Amino acid sequence: MNPSAFSPKAVPSFLQVGRKILRFFVLAASLLLAACTPIGAHRLPADRFDYNAAIASSTNEQMLLNLVRLRYNETPVFLDLNTVIAQYQVEARAQVGAEIGFSGTGPPGDSIVNPEVGAGWSERPTITYAPRTGPKFIRSLLTPLSPAAVFQLVQSDWPVDDIVWGVVKSINGVGPRAPAGGWNPDYSRMLEALSRVQRARALGVGFEGEARKAFTLRFRQTGLDEKTAAAIATLKRIWGLNPKISEYRLVPGVVPRNADEIAVLTSSMLDLMRGTAALMEVPPQHVKEKRTAQTFKLPPNAPYGGRASISLHLARERPRDAFVAVQKDGWWYSIAMNDLRSKRVLMLLNVLFQLSDGGEHTGGPIVTVPASG
C-alpha cells in the first residue's frame, strides 16, 4: 500500500467526499419526506371538479347520441357511471457510491462520488360502468311522467313551452290538435294563459287531505292583477273546471271524472325523446337513402315558431366551440354554445330521465375500466 495515500494531502479529499455525500443525503431525505407526505387532500379540489366536469360533459353527450340514434330508429343505450376511484402512487429512490484513488495516474487522494436520485408520481383512476337494463328500467321509459312533476317544474319557473309543449299531450282533453283537425287555437290560449299565471306566481302544487296521497293544483285567489285573474279564468274555461273553487285534483288521463279534476295526459320518457328526435335535422342524403325519415315539420304557430326544440348543427369535422358534440356515421351532430334554448331542453331531458329512472341496473355486466394515461 502506498503510504502517501494517508498523507496530510489526502485528508481534504476525504472531507470533500464527506461533504458531497452529506449534501446528497440531505437531498435524498427531502425527496423521501416529500414522497411520504399525504397527497389525497391536496388532490381533492382539482380532482373533484375535473371529474365533475367530465361526468357532466359525458352525460350530455350520451343523451344527445341517444336522440340521434332514435332519429335513425336505432335502440338507445344508457350506460351508468357507478364509481370513480382515484389511486395515487408516489415513489422516491436514492443511492450513492464513492471512489477514492490511492494510486494511478491522478494525484493521491482524487475522489469520485456517483450519486443517483429519482422520484415518481402516478395516478391510476378506476371507473365502473353499468348498463341500465331490466324490466323495471324499460317500464320507467314507457310509463307516462307524473302530472305533479310537470306542474312542479312549471311552479319552479321552467318555461311553459318547454314543459307543457314538450311533455304534455293534453290537459282535460285540450291538446295541440283540434277535434276537427288542424291546429287547436285553445291550445295556444292555454299556453299563453298558463305562462301569465306562472309569471305572477299564482299557481302551486299541493296535497289533498291528511293522507297527502293525491296531488292538487291550486290557483292563488288574492293579490291578483287584472290580467292574471283573467288568465286564471281562461284556464278554468278551457279546461271546463268548476269556477267557484281554486283547488283541483291532479290525475293522469285524458278526461276528468268531474269539474273538480285536472286530467293530464303526459308523454313517457321514450315518447318525449322520440318526439324531440323527429324534429332534428339530418344530412339530406340520409333521407334520400331512406336511412331515416323526413324531418317532421310543425306549423308556424306552434311554440318556438314551429322550430325544433333542439337545433342541431351538422358537420364532417368536429366543431371547436360546441356545447356538446357527438359523432355518428362520419357526421358530427352538435349544439352551439350560444344556443340557450337547445341547451335548456337538453338539460330538461336529463332531469326528466333521472326523474323517470326505475332504479334497476342489474340486467347487464358491470364494466370496470382502469383509466390510467
**How is 75-109 classified by DSSP, letter by letter?**
----EEEEEEE--EEEEEEEEEEEEE-SSSSSPTT
Q: What angle do CA 338, 342, 347 make, to 5 degrees?
A: 110
Q: Tell me the C-alpha distance between 57 and 68, whole Å.
A: 17
Count, residues in the chain: 373
Q: Are residues 7 and 126 in the same domain?
A: yes
**288-317 confidence digits (pLDDT tens):** 999 999 999 888 888 888 889 999 999 999
Please report whether residue 17 resides in a domain: yes
Domain stop point among 267, 301, 333: 267
Q: 261: number of CA atoms within 13 Å, CB side?
A: 15
Domain stop point among 267, 282, 309: 267
**185-239 confidence digits (pLDDT tens):** 999 999 999 999 999 999 999 988 776 778 999 999 999 999 999 999 999 999 9
Confidence of residue 6 (pLDDT cuts 50, 70, 90): very low
Q: Of 163, 121, 140, nearest to 37 (Cα)?
A: 121
> What total of structural domains would you count in the chain?
2
Q: Are residues 118 and 19 in the same domain?
A: yes
Q: Are residues 127 and 152 in the same domain?
A: no
Q: What angle do CA 330, 335, 337 make, to 5 degrees?
A: 130
pTM of the entire predicted model: 0.75
Q: Are residues 106 and 11 in the same domain?
A: yes
Q: Are residues 207 and 168 in the same domain?
A: yes
Residue 129 pLDDT > 80, yes or no?
A: no
Least confidently predicted of 60-64, 86-90, 118-122, 356-360: 118-122
Q: Are residues 90 and 122 in the same domain?
A: yes
Q: Of 176, 155, 153, nearest to 163 (Cα)?
A: 153
Domain stop point among 68, 101, 131: 131
Per-residue pLDDT, 322: 95
Confidence of residue 362 (pLDDT cuts 50, 70, 90): very low
DSSP state of 295: P
Residue 63 pLDDT > 60, yes or no?
A: yes
Q: Are residues 12 and 127 in the same domain?
A: yes
* Alpha helices in 251-364, H assignment, sequence order: 269-278, 284-288, 340-355
Please report whether residue 287 resides in a domain: no
* Mean pLDDT to the nearest integer, 89-110: 52
Domain of residue 30, residue span: 3-48+86-131
Q: Are residues 262 and 190 in the same domain?
A: yes
Q: List the grid coordinates of 80.
A: 351508468
pLDDT above 70 as % of the chain: 72
In this structure, are residues 106 and 135 in contact, taking their beta carbons and an 8 Å threshold?
no
**238-270 confidence digits (pLDDT tens):** 999 999 999 999 999 999 999 999 999 999 999
* Mean pLDDT to the nearest integer, 162-187: 90
Please report whether residue 326 resides in a domain: no
Please report whether residue 341 resides in a domain: no
Per-residue pLDDT, 52: 82
Please report whether residue 178 resides in a domain: yes
Task: Give the C-alpha distances (Å, rounded to integers) separating 196 from 216, 260, 306.
Answer: 20, 22, 21
Q: How far is CA 344 from the centre of its chain?
A: 12
Please report whether residue 179 resides in a domain: yes
Q: Are residues 7 and 112 in the same domain?
A: yes
